[in-house]
Amino acid sequence: MIEATVLVIDDDDDILLSARLFLKQHFRQVITCKSPKELNTLLSNHEVDIILLDMNYQKGASDGREGLYWLDHILSIDKDYVVILMTAYGNVELAVQAIKKGATDFILKPWENEKLFATLSSASKLRQSNKRIKKLEKIHSSLQKDINRQFESIIGHSEPIKQLQHTLIKVAPTDANVLILGNNGTGKQVFAYELHKLSQRKNQIFMHVDLGSLNENLFESELFGYAKGAFTDAKEDKPGRFEMAEGGTIFLDEIGNLSLPLQAKLLSVIQNRTINRLGESKERKINIRLITATNMPLNEMVAKGTFRQDLLFRINTVELFLPALAERGVDILLLANHFLQSFSVKYHKRITAFDEKAQTMMLNYHWPGNVRELQHVVERAVIMSDGHQIDPNDLQLSPQKFGSTIVVQSNLGLEEMEKAMVQKAIEKHKGNISRAAAELGLTRAALYRRIEKFNI
């Protein structure tokens, strides 16, 4: 059975019956109609792959002009439609003219079933190939805007990060919907991409959609696509982000920003796994993995009536909460050195390290902007630095945002630095393991393991 829909248009009832009885044995769906005037309605309501079009409809007509007219009309709707013309009159010149105008093939009536099947089978392969090419072109065009986007990997040795990585390993291979929560700059997009990389869909597209920056009027056209003529500037059919993510992962960032009407539309898509392009009535099935994220308190919003509870239930099969950078004390310098290496290469600088005062300053800083702020601070420091090390003046950190983060010597190795941070935290909190663990971003059990490891 070929997964294609064939539309047969002929004014002869016997031809339509014969075509339907034969073709329905080989194709997913066969639609027949007597008049090409029904074309617009049929093409709007069905996803047609092959059109078998008679050349003549008026009694006594044999010149094929009607068929050529309707061929032009079909291709004006979508130039990628596969149209096969048929006539009872063998006319080589007419056949050549039809092919030049965009017809895929030309058959004579009465046909031989084997030849008809072979022709339509080849046409189906051509249609599928055209659809794949068109989809890839649309995806390429859409992703050009994000061409400079680079995904970081998850970096960190703190206990919260280790626990999240452990959860990722369990969740990623499934198709469970995942909701990622956390403050701005904590790395929600990085974690979403990590889920994709560890999933069965890793070789397919990862589609990022920032709902927070999406104009409400463009929501449907951007996510679900539109048909040619759906609105003034709709010059051609365009698939939405859901269609372009077919087979892969779609990441809807800032989902908490959606208004209630848009939440309802999104819920329908998630429940039914189908979309309708603007200007079309036919449904298109989608096969995607859904990941969403927000920095907003969705449970509180549900209580206030500003976020749909049924939508929350749909998107948070698994929920991940990303900690603030201040809760990941042991990761600050690890991340800073990673960014330093990356930006030194990008800006052609030979900067090898942060000096001791700069490291101490970073460890004492609150990082209200989290990992994103740290990344921007390091990038700016690399640009401003004139030496081979980053000093406090290069960092340009706000003096109002310093607190009581653990301070250690910075001329130590990573393991020595971790030991020093553990010692300082325990001393600072006078042996209170719970408080020391909280400041280091560790659980009590993890802190006890480090105490044993370092023989403190």
Output the pLDDT for position 228. Answer: 84
Residues 234 and 427: their CA atoms lie apart, in Å, by 67
Structure tokens at 350: 């030979």
Output the pLDDT for position 233. Answer: 81
Output the pLDDT for position 410. Answer: 47
Output the pLDDT for position 298. Answer: 95
Q: Output phi, psi for 278, to 5 deg.
A: -60, 130
Structure tokens at 291: 């990941």
CA distances from 283 to 131, 222, 235, 269, 272 (A): 17, 16, 21, 10, 10
Tokens 């079009």 correspond to what residue?
53
Residues 55 and 436: their CA atoms lie apart, in Å, by 84
Output the pLDDT for position 45. Answer: 85
Tens of pLDDT, residue by residue, the chain (456 residues): 888 899 999 988 899 999 999 999 999 999 999 988 998 889 888 889 899 998 888 765 667 788 888 999 999 888 888 999 887 766 667 777 888 888 888 888 888 898 889 989 888 888 888 777 776 666 655 554 444 444 567 999 888 999 999 999 999 999 999 999 999 999 999 999 999 999 999 988 999 999 988 888 889 999 999 988 888 888 888 889 999 999 999 999 999 999 999 999 999 999 999 999 998 888 899 999 999 999 999 999 999 999 999 999 999 999 999 999 988 888 999 999 999 999 999 999 999 999 999 998 998 888 989 999 999 999 999 999 999 999 999 998 877 555 544 544 545 555 676 787 788 888 877 778 877 877 776 777 778 778 877 788
CA distances from 314 to 184, 255, 300 (A): 23, 13, 17
Residues 335 and 389: their CA atoms lie apart, in Å, by 16
SS3 391: coil
| Half-sphere exposure for 102 (CA within 13 Å, toward CB) | 18
Q: Which DSSP string do the residues of 146-169 spell out, in sequence order? A: GTT--PPPP---SHHHHHHHHHHH
> 8 with 52: CB under 8 angstroms?
yes
For 65-97, write each residue's pLDDT tens digit: 888 889 999 998 888 889 998 877 666 677 778
Output the pLDDT for position 319. Answer: 96
Give the start-end residues of each E strand in 10-97.
27-33, 50-54, 82-87
Residues 382 and 351: their CA atoms lie apart, in Å, by 7
Taking phi over 0 as left and psi of -120 to 50 as alpha, with beta for the rest, 187 belongs to left
Q: If 0-12 CB within 10 Å is exposed, 13-18 middle and 19+ buried, where does residue 77 land? A: middle
Structure tokens at 316: 């948070």
Single out the residue of 17, 18, 26 nearest to residue 6, CA to CA: 26
Q: What is the DSSP letter of 411?
A: S
SS3 11: coil
Output the pLDDT for position 138. Answer: 64
- β-partners of residue 2 are 27
Structure tokens at 234: 């709709």
Residues 342 and 337: their CA atoms lie apart, in Å, by 9
Single out the residue of 377, 325, 329 nearest to residue 183, CA to CA: 325
Residues 393 and 218: their CA atoms lie apart, in Å, by 45
Residues 294 and 223: their CA atoms lie apart, in Å, by 18
Residues 273 and 286: their CA atoms lie apart, in Å, by 5
Helix (H) or strand (E) holding 94: helix 92-101
Residues 262 and 226: their CA atoms lie apart, in Å, by 17
Residues 175 and 203: their CA atoms lie apart, in Å, by 15
SS3 263: helix
> 252 with 188: CB under 8 angstroms?
no
CA 153 to chain centre: 18
Q: What is the DSSP letter of 403?
A: -
